[in-house]
Structure 1
Amino acid sequence: MKRPGPLLTLLAGLVFGVFMLSLNAMTGTKNAPNPYRQASPGVSVSASAPPASSSPSPSVPPSPSPSRSALPNADYAGRTDDNSSAVAISLRGGKAIAYFCDGHDKESWLKGDVKDDGTMKLAGGNGDELDGTLQDGKLIRGAAHVGGQRYGFTADRAIKPSGLYRATATVRGAKVDGGWIVLPGGKQVGVVTKDGTPSAAPVIDPETGTVTIDGQKIIARPVTP
């Protein structure tokens, strides 16, 4: 019997070669990168982070509107545009009292509030009114409506003894009520009413307020609201 040595050796080599070829093919397929393979859960995928927004600048409160100048505590006196009468106004704490008189027999006391912008609308008896506007604290320009007539006026800031004065008393059994406007320069305009009858007022002493009516001395005092 012949020995099959060479044939078996050749056959074994062939089988081994096929096995190695198959093994290499399988290994190459396994190690090849798969373009469709998803990233493993443990691997984070980096993405461009949006730029950090700058922190908002703190809101700036709106600038307060300029405050209006405080109303002065002052007195004003002047004449009407037709030079027939005089007007005096005293301001204190946003309140005003005014006196209109022609120095003969027409007069009116008026009062009211002064707005922050310097405007005023004062009211008196018998429907009398006075509208005025304070201008830079130096003067009041407006109109007085007294006895059914309109009188434009300008009243400048008064320095003592200029200003507004009033006296009430009983003289020889008669009730006396007098008003005086001492104008810048010293001229006086006033009306005294005795028991309801008006007439031109006698001159007062502005330094002391002393005035003599029917032989009796009384005191006229500065008027404030």
Structure 2
Amino acid sequence: MKRPGPLLNLLAGLLVGAFMLSLNTTAGTRSTSSSAAQPADTTRESPAATAAPAPTQATSSPSPSPSKIPVPDARYTGRTDDDTSAVALTLRDGRALAYFCDGRAKESWLRGPVDDDGTMRLTGKDGSVLNGALKDGRRIRGTVDIGGGHHAFTADQAEKPAGPYRATATVRDARVDGGWIVLPGGWQVGVLTRDGEPAPAPRIDPETGAVTVDGQRLTARPAAP
């Protein structure tokens, strides 16, 4: 048998090469079509979650300060702790007037403001000083410094006719200035000064304030700030 010639071998090689080229082209087309058919990756990085704002803490408004209650108007009468003198006070519209009297020669009229807490510092023209404080709205506890003496006292709230009284006039060419303290139960203490000379005062009528001085009728009136 004769072997195939060189020409046949060449033809066979060309056919095999053409067949392989055809297979490669077909495979490339399928691969390209498959890649194009796949959807593009559209996944995006999600934005970072924003934290919710912290709740605003409500600021409480300051509570209003309690309104101040003024000290009520009233009268107070009492005696010193050593029972040598009497003290009477009248409180009105945030001010106070006080009268200190021993019923013989020592006396003083004092005035000043009353603080909202009931404390007071009253002064007299003669340099006397009263320091006191309202206790429970019913009594005043304090001290009076007068003429070198120091006197502690307690004065309880009192109703008319109790309280301090005063009368000033000219009697027989003499300047008369009288002060009285009417205590509960009708007790009285007073000093009457004639031209600067003190002496025990005559009694007054607690209901009308009438008093007779050296034969002349005068009227003592309730003393107030």
TM-score (norm 1): 0.85
Q: Which residue of 1 aligns with 2:3?
A: none
RMSD: 2.8
Q: Which residue of 2 aligns with 1:12?
A: 18
Alpha-carbon displacement from aligned partner over 1:150-188 (angstroms, at most 9, x marks no partner): 000001111000011100001111110001111122101
Q: Which residue of 2 aligns with 1:45?
A: 46
Partners in 1 of 2:137 and 2:45 — Cα distance? 77
2:23 aligned partner, one-letter code: G
Correspondence 1:80-99 to 2 at 5 A: 80-99=80-99
- Cα offset, 1:64, TM superposition: 3.1
Q: Which residue of 2 aligns with 1:148?
A: 148
1:16 aligned partner, one-letter code: S
| Structure of larger gyration radius | 2
Q: Which residue of 1 aligns with 2:135?
A: 135
Partners in 2 of 1:56 and 1:87 — Cα distance? 59
Q: Which residue of 2 aligns with 1:79?
A: 79
1:221 aligned partner, one-letter code: R
- Cα offset, 1:31, TM superposition: 7.6
1:94 aligned partner, one-letter code: G
- Cα offset, 1:53, TM superposition: 3.1
Correspondence 1:169-188 to 2 at 5 A: 169-188=169-188
Residues 207-216 or 22-31, more deviating: 22-31
Residues 43-52 or 107-116, more deviating: 43-52
Partners in 2 of 1:126 and 1:171 — Cα distance? 24
- Cα offset, 1:51, TM superposition: 3.1
Verify the 8 A CA contact 1:68 1:117 in the aligned structure 2.
no
Partners in 2 of 1:187 and 1:61 — Cα distance? 56
Q: Which residue of 1 aligns with 2:210?
A: 210
1:13 aligned partner, one-letter code: F
Partners in 1 of 2:118 and 2:36 — Cα distance? 97
Length, aligned pairs only: 218
- Cα offset, 1:19, TM superposition: 2.2
Partners in 2 of 1:115 and 1:87 — Cα distance? 20
Give 5+ residue unaligned stretches, structure 1. none
SS at match of 1:211: strand
Verify the 8 A CA contact 1:81 1:152 in the aligned structure 2.
yes
SS at match of 1:126: coil
Q: Which residue of 2 aligns with 1:101?
A: 101
Partners in 1 of 2:139 and 2:69 — Cα distance? 15
Identity across matched positions, percent:
50
TM-score (norm 2): 0.85
SS at match of 2:181: strand
Verify the 8 A CA contact 2:108 2:126 in the aligned structure 1.
no
Verify the 8 A CA contact 2:103 2:201 in the aligned structure 1.
yes
Partners in 1 of 2:57 and 2:205 — Cα distance? 71
2:26 aligned partner, one-letter code: M
Partners in 2 of 1:103 and 1:179 — Cα distance? 9
2:131 aligned partner, one-letter code: D
Give 5+ residue unaligned stretches, structure 2. 1-6
1:96 aligned partner, one-letter code: A
Verify the 8 A CA contact 1:101 1:108 in the aligned structure 2.
yes
Partners in 1 of 2:42 and 2:38 — Cα distance? 15
